[in-house]
Amino acid sequence: MTTYRIPQHGQGSGVTEEDLTAVTAVLTAGRHLSDGAEVARFEEEFARRTGAAHAVAVSSCTMALELATRVLELEPGDEVVTTPLTFQATAAPLLGRDVTVRFADIDETTLCLDPASVTAALTPRTRAVFTTHYGGLCGGVEELRALTGRAGVALVEDCAHAIGAAAGGRSAGTWGDLGCWSFHSLKNISTLGQGGMLTVRDAGVADRLRALRAINPDAEFVPRSKPAEFGRYGTGTVPRPVTHEKNAYTHDCARIRSGGVNAQLADPAAAMGRSQLRRLDSLLARRRAVAERLDAGLRELGVQVLGTPEGHVHAHHLYAFLLRDDIDRDELVRDLEREGVEVVLRYFPVHLLPEWRRRGGVFGSVPVAEDVWFRRLVNLPLSPQLGLDDADYVVDAVERALARQRVGAMA
């Protein structure tokens, strides 16, 4: 196992005594660990923090994306536009559906979807745009909101990186119709390693999502004029023990949109999330300080620093910069690894994964994203566990690696 001087930390937010106290209080209260009291409080506090109308906690961001896709009610022949530069979970819920997925290109200054490319990808069959706030920046989200609004299609925000991010004075996850959040161990806050949240504009959609996460179908039920009877049982004759009959006696089902899943977030996880949410500002400040130190040092080295556009608040989940054409990215990454700096390149273009090639993905279809990932993108470690001296070491390591390549080119 390689030991790095500057690693990619497996706990993006760390754990404090306050976190442990919050979780222990739930574990020792003698209550059912899935009774939902802590979950409801977490949802309320998260909605208040982001300014969202509604928040629905679930077991992971991947499940949030799955449920978001279900309530869109996509039909065969519908089309969805998304980004190729993201974790595979963004598009995973679309893989098993009979829909056309179009990968639009990215803006190299933000690494997020390029609104102009999205506009070109829209057709009369487009039902939704899935955008990812890469690294914690809501790049292009204002333009995407405007163009999806004009086109009458849904906007789904993958906010897995973006807790604390904003654009135009509005939080990530409140520009679109649905926002999907991650509390995975690597993220800016965590709920015991896994967890997710949906932020939603519409109260009816929020109710449907809560039904789905609790294994109930997303369906339309109509009251019966006369209660149903099954064998010896009718309304009022059900035995006292819990029988899980739900609305079997009182309603009929007129339409089924989707079956439900077990996507509940447990109360101890929600207690952890509430504790970490309370110190989110300090966690973001530490990330921002390290990122700004990296920005300042790398600008002196002649690489393309992405920075934070005016009017945006960056969550700094990931740190990325781009190389110029005369530098071999792969050699530079190997050199940084030798210097003790762990590099994880995020993310391999989704449209070139085998399952998406089977669905029509081809190299050359999104040239900016492909050029960025295969030749120019470098991701550096960024977490609250790092200090400014660590950032200085990383900058020096990059400078040494660049110098070695330039000397080699002159030899």
Residue 322 lies in a domain: yes
Query: Would you give the end-to-end CA distance of the chain in angstroms?
Result: 35
Q: Is 284 helix (H, G, I), strand (E, B) or coil?
A: helix
Residues 125 and 239 in one domain: no
**pLDDT recorded at residue 241:** 79
In angstroms, rounded to a whole number, what is the distance separating the alpha carbons of residues 313 and 172? 9
Residue 1 lies in a domain: no
* Range of the structural domain that residue 336 is part of: 278-410
Question: Which CATH number characterizes residue 271's domain?
Answer: 3.40.640.10
The pLDDT tens digits for 281-340 are 999 999 999 999 999 999 999 999 999 999 999 999 999 999 998 999 999 999 999 999
Q: Is 49 helix (H, G, I), strand (E, B) or coil?
A: helix
Q: Which two tokens stand for residue 263?
A: 């996507």
Query: Among residues 258, 289, 321, which one ends one of the domains?
Result: 258
Query: For 289, which DSSP code?
Result: H
In angstroms, rounded to a whole number, what is the distance separating the alpha carbons of residues 296 and 395? 9
The pLDDT tens digits for 166-208 are 999 999 999 999 999 999 999 999 999 999 999 999 999 999 9
Residues 244 and 157 in one domain: no
Number of H helices, E strands in the chain: 13, 15
Residue 50 lies in a domain: yes
Residue ranges, the chain, pLDDT below 70: 1, 235-236, 238, 408-411
**pLDDT recorded at residue 80:** 98
- State which H helix or E strand residue 406 sits in: helix 388-410
Residues 236 and 118 in one domain: no
Residues 161 and 222 in one domain: no
**pLDDT recorded at residue 83:** 98
pTM, 2 dp: 0.96
Q: How many domains does the chain have?
A: 3
What residue type is assigned to position 141 of the chain? V
- CB under 8 Å to 3, separation ≥6 — which residues? 340
Using a CB cutoff of 8 Å and minimum separation of 24, what contacts does 3-7 make?
3/340, 4/340, 4/341, 4/342, 5/339, 5/340, 5/341, 5/393, 6/340, 6/341, 6/342, 6/381, 6/386, 6/390, 6/393, 6/394, 6/397, 7/342, 7/381
Residues 153 and 300 in one domain: no
Helix, strand, coil shares, percent, the chain, to 5:
40, 20, 45
